[in-house]
Amino acid sequence: MTYTASVVGGSGFTGGELLRLLDGHPEFEVVQATSRSYERKTVGHQHPNLRGMDLRFSSPEDLESVDALFAATPHGVSMERIDDFSDAADTVVDLSADFRLDTEEQYDEWYDGHACPEYLEKSEYALPELNRENLPGADLVASGGCNATATLLGLKPLFDAGVLAGDEQVVVDVKVGSSEGGAGGGAASSHPERSGIVRPYAPTSHRHEAEIEQFLGLSVSFTVHAVDMVRGASATCHVFPDSPVEKKDMWGAYRDSYGDEPFMRTVAGGGGVYRYPEPKAVAGTNYGEVGFEIDPKNRRLVVFSAIDNMMKGSAGQAVHAANVALGIEETAGLEFQGLHPVGAP
Ligand SMILES: NC(=O)c1ccc[n+]([C@@H]2O[C@H](COP(=O)([O-])OP(=O)(O)OC[C@H]3O[C@@H](n4cnc5c(N)ncnc54)[C@H](OP(=O)(O)O)[C@@H]3O)[C@@H](O)[C@H]2O)c1
């Protein structure tokens, strides 16, 4: 069966990744990509890797009727236009933060409120490793934040295995690439300003803490650094369990949580250069890597997690969730590996 799809915000970074994925997907046909700035230009004009695609940007005001609408627009757009999106499509998959949290109060606390709180209880968080059972048949799917996704994927097995109960101290340090800021990332993302940096850009109170808290029931001490890469999010989680943990139990925990997951890989030690998760190893793919090391002297467990922010952290996660929501083979269109060797992602 073929499902028609549109991408609102198709000229942006995650919009481009959605178009790349959907164009190569065996069961989607892209019928519309919108951009106000590049209306009537080919999608290849903005995304040179997609020059072979026979599609031109159109206005987001004239939405085609489709089976699935992917919204890759800045925070606030989807909540204003959700009625239009829902009229145009049976399934709406939103990549912004507009429908990730459960309650209006959370949006008051972490964002600037919410324009249509009545939709919040209808939306499902997209990350299948967390929320697969709620996705089939969902009308509104909210793709997770990339920093939150990296953190949640790293820590979830510890909750599943009872290593963490929710009252322990957890310190999370995330390093992210410049594409996280989108195509209009501004001065902080311009090449001369960004080159060579390791810059704390959200030392405290990052909004993604809300998603992490919502799913794990754990308040994490969360800091994000902007680093000199284009793609990738790498989370290092310093965990202080109440009782000592052993390596074999940790392997068991990660195997139990992710052994059957099609897009998760556990990488913890071993030989060679790539001994722990690194964004470079998953760049351009929907794979996520997790790993750990135990520091008995300090009663510390260090958990590493790496994703491509524009794939597992947004567009890949969104297509994965759409597959599950629509009853398509879960891995369809996403099973390709990355490149190696490759330059900075
Ligand atoms: N970049 C990441 O790594 C990442 C990861 C996870 C989640 N996200 C989320 O995904 C969303 C898109 O991010 P991005 O990085 O792709 O942003 P981006 O590169 O800045 O692209 C934004 C897109 O939205 C369109 N747009 C802007 N205002 C609009 C409006 N009022 N109505 C309709 N279209 C509008 C833009 O095109 P025109 O202005 O030409 O219409 C552009 O195509 C954001 O909410 C972001 O937080 C991003």
What are 119-131's pLDDT values in tens digits? 999 999 999 999 9
Strands 3-8 and 140-142 come out as: unpaired
The reply to whether 331 falls in a domain is no
* Same domain, residue pair 303 and 316: no
Find the 122 Cα to ligand 1 centroid distance in Å. Answer: 22
Using CA atoms of 280, 335, 154, 176 in order, give the dihedral in degrees to the nearest 10.
40
Asked if 264 and 319 count as a contact pair (C-beta separation under 8 A), the reply is no
Judge if the beta carbon of residue 13 lies within 6 A of ligand 1.
yes
166 within domain boundaries? yes
Q: Is there a single domain that holds both residue 126 and residue 193?
A: no
Centroid of ligand 1 to alpha carbon of 223 (angstroms):
23
CA-atom Rg of the chain in angstroms:
19
Whether 40 lines ligand 1, by a CB cut-off of 6 Å, is no
Do both 317 and 298 map to the same domain? Answer: no
> Domain containing 277 — which CATH number?
3.30.360.10
**Ligand 1 neighbourhood includes 310 CB (under 6 angstroms):** yes
Q: Is the peptide bond before 341 cis (omega within 30 degrees of 0)?
A: yes
Q: Identify the CATH number of the domain in which residue 90 sits.
A: 3.40.50.720
The predicted structure's pLDDT at residue 198: 95
Domain check: are 7 and 124 in the same one?
Answer: yes
Q: Is the dihedral of CA 70, 150, 114, 325 positive or negative?
A: positive
Specify the ligand 1 atom closest to the Cα of 233: 3
3-state secondary structure of 296: helix
Tens of pLDDT along 275-313? 999 999 999 999 999 999 999 999 999 999 999 999 999
Q: What is the pLDDT of residue 271?
A: 87
Most informative mutation of 7, 8, 14 for ligand 1 (most atoms within 8 A of CB)? 14
Residue 9, domain member (yes or no): yes
Residues 151 and 128 grouped into a single domain: no
| pTM of the predicted model over 0.95 | yes
Local structure of 295: helix, strand or coil: strand
The pLDDT of residue 270: 84
- CA-nearest residue for atom 29, ligand 1, is 73
Q: Note down the domain range covering 16.
A: 3-144+311-326
* Contact present, 44 and 53 (Cβ < 8 Å): yes
Indicate whether 339 belongs to any domain.
no
Q: Separation of 162 CA from ligand 1 center, angstroms?
A: 38
Same domain, 158 and 296: yes
163 and 234 share one domain: yes
Please give the distance, rounded to the nearest whole angstrom, from the Cα atom of residue 268 to the centre of ligand 1: 35
Closest C-alpha to ligand 1, atom 27: 73
- Measure the CA–CA gap between 215 and 153, rounded to whole angstroms: 11
Same domain, 206 and 245: yes
190 shares a domain with 72: no
Burial class of residue 208 (count of CB atoms within 10 Å of its CB; 0-12, 13-18, 19+): buried
* Residue 160 shares a structural domain with residue 268: yes
In a domain, 121, yes or no: yes
How many angstroms is it from 258 CA to the middle of ligand 1? 31
Ligand 1 proximity of 146 Cβ (cutoff 6 Å):
yes
The CB of 12 under 6 Å from ligand 1? The reply is yes
Q: Does 36 contact ligand 1 (Cβ within 6 A)? A: yes
pLDDT number for residue 236: 98
146 is a catalytic site residue: yes
Q: Do 140 and 194 reside in the same domain of the chain?
A: no
Is 267 a domain residue?
yes
Please count the structural domains in the chain: 2
Ligand 1 center from residue 47 Cα (angstroms): 14
Which one of 21, 120, 146, 226 is the catalytic residue? 146
Q: Is residue 131 part of a domain?
A: yes
Same domain flag for 293 and 162: yes
**Residue numbers of the chain with a pLDDT score lower than 50:** none
Residue 338 lies in a domain: no
